Homo-oligomer: A and B are copies of this chain.
């Protein structure tokens, strides 16, 4: 099968769901009840641009996030891999197979150039976003002088219970798509192309996007059952993105201009404890009504938050230790972040409970001024801390978007 065949099949099938495999006469056309609508066949998010896709792209339904360590010490090998990855990412985000010969072309005596599990699936709005961890800027690749000052290991926060096997990494790949098999396929093929150069340090699946990144999306709910990210930064406010998300040349390292910093935090939720907590207490912890999502004292979800309304006993209606108060721009001196996390359930914990929570991802222009002070305040004062535990952590510098002829990280390695 040629490299363009996934796309070609969609074209041949015309309008409607294009799922009949080449030669698969008799195969049904619906992948399952209610999934993969016809519109998905044109569901391609452009790979190239000023910024990487997958940051302000309207958040897709599914995440596969992988952190990798580089095992080679050869800078040229690393650059070669980044070029190979870029080529593969261009193809996969268009719904094509990886490699010149695709999944089932090429020599029968050789391994297929693509692993095949995304054949017949539409592009599914796949985005692939890469990041560079602080450890990449050690003495292995001659990058020490290019390390941005903001790209340092995150400090320890009170009550962190971080697992090294869920933290850190030289590189990260964030794959988001509306079909988890498409996201998994993309990460798996990049990992495969990295054999001998990189290896997986940790990986995380997520679903049910736990924030919206566009005003065209409704606000989803996290596994506490609350709408999450109502006041998130949105793609439709480019001035706010310039202020809070995109790094500029003036920020220090010119190679990172147009890029950002990605913070990943795996947050285990003690859902069993939460579920035994009264509605009143839950709403005080969050600072919002569970049903409407309105801030306490307000009527509708998007009514402006007012932290100064008085409540019973002289206490403010939005408690002093409420999550939305501590995380608010008002409390944070104007600092905001772009949240882009996902819910997760990773089986069970061996103690009779589901292992569930929020895989928090945010993008910010300078974690020293945004995520870190925010998390310091939350970890010290947020009443929600009783119900959560941070079990994984990582920080990555996210290079700018790639031109039509460039490759991931070219401004760093060619700069």
What is the 8 Å Cβ interface bit string for chain A, positions 61-98, against chain B (1 contact, 0 not)?
Answer: 11010100000000000000000000000000000000
A64 to chain B, nearest CB (A): 7
**B24 and A354 contact, CB distance less than 8 A:** no
Q: Contact: B300 with A221, CB < 8 Å?
A: no
Copies of this chain in the oligomer: 2
Q: Are A345 and B208 in contact (CB under 8 A)?
A: no
A158 beta carbon closer than 8 Å to chain B: no
Q: Are B282 and A112 in contact (CB under 8 A)?
A: yes
Complex CA distance for A134 and B215, rounded to whole angstroms? 52
Contact partner of A279 (CB less than 8 A), chosen from B36, B104, B204, is B104
The answer to whether B181 touches A21 (Cβ under 8 A) is: no
* Contacts known (A202-B347, A299-B23); A209 close to B32, Cβ less than 8 A: yes
* CB < 8 Å neighbour of A32 from B58, B192, B271, B277: B58
Expressed in whole angstroms, the Cα–Cα distance for A212 and B58 within the complex equals 31
Question: In the bound complex, what is the Cα–Cα distance between A220 and B1 (angstroms)?
Answer: 18
Give A209-242 interface residues, CB cut-off 8 Å to B.
209, 212, 214-227
Distance in angstroms between the alpha carbons of A187 and B356 in the assembled complex: 12
Q: Inside 8 A of A283's CB, which chain B residues have their CB?
A: 108
| A278:B108 contact, CB within 8 angstroms | yes
Q: Is the CB–CB distance between B271 and A28 below 8 Å?
A: no
Known: A39-B34, A116-B226, A222-B117. A278 touches B348 (CB 8 A): no
Cross-chain contact A350 with B165 (CB below 8 angstroms): yes
Q: Taking the complex as formed, is A160 at the interface, i.e. its CB lies under 8 A from any CB of chain B?
A: no
In the complex, whether A259 has a CB less than 8 A from a CB of chain B is no
Question: Is A15 positioned at the interface, with any CB of B under 8 Å from its CB?
Answer: no
- B290–A116 CB distance below 8 A: yes
Query: B272–A192 contact, CB under 8 A?
Result: yes
Which A38-66 residues sit within 8 Å CB-CB of chain B?
39-40, 43, 58-62, 64, 66
Q: Give the docked Cα–Cα distance between A330 and B205 (Å).
A: 39
Contact B218 A31 (CB under 8 A): yes
Contact A24 B219 (CB under 8 A): yes
A26, CB-defined interface residue at 8 Å: yes
Instruction: Let me know if A252 is at the binding interface, CB within 8 A.
Output: no
Q: Answer yes or no: A25 CB below 8 A from chain B CBs.
A: yes
Q: Quick check: A33 and B21 within 8 Å, CB to CB?
A: no
Is residue A312 contacting chain B, with contact meaning CB distance below 8 A? no
Closest to A291 in B: B104
* Cβ of A106 under 8 Å from chain B: yes
Contact A219/B27 with A33-B43, A104-B291 known, Cβ cut-off 8 Å:
yes
Across the interface, name the chain B residue whose C-beta is closest to A193.
B275
Q: How far, in whole Å, are A36 and B111 apart by their CA atoms in the complex?
A: 36
Give the contacting residue for A302; candidates B19, B27, B291, B353; CB below 8 A. B27
- Contact B27 A290, beta carbon cutoff 8 Å: no
Interface centre among A165, A277, A301 (most CB of B within 10 A): A301
> CA separation between A300 and B25, bound complex, in Å?
6
The residues of A with any CB-CB pair to B shorter than 8 Å are 1, 19-37, 39-40, 43, 58-62, 64, 66, 103-104, 106-112, 114-120, 122, 124-125, 165, 178-181, 184, 187-188, 191-192, 195, 199-205, 207-209, 212, 214-227, 271-272, 275-280, 282-283, 289-294, 299-302, 343, 345-348, 350, 352-356
Can you list 5 A-B contacts with CB-CB less than 8 angstroms, sorted by A residue number? Answer: A27-B218, A28-B217, A109-B280, A110-B278, A203-B355
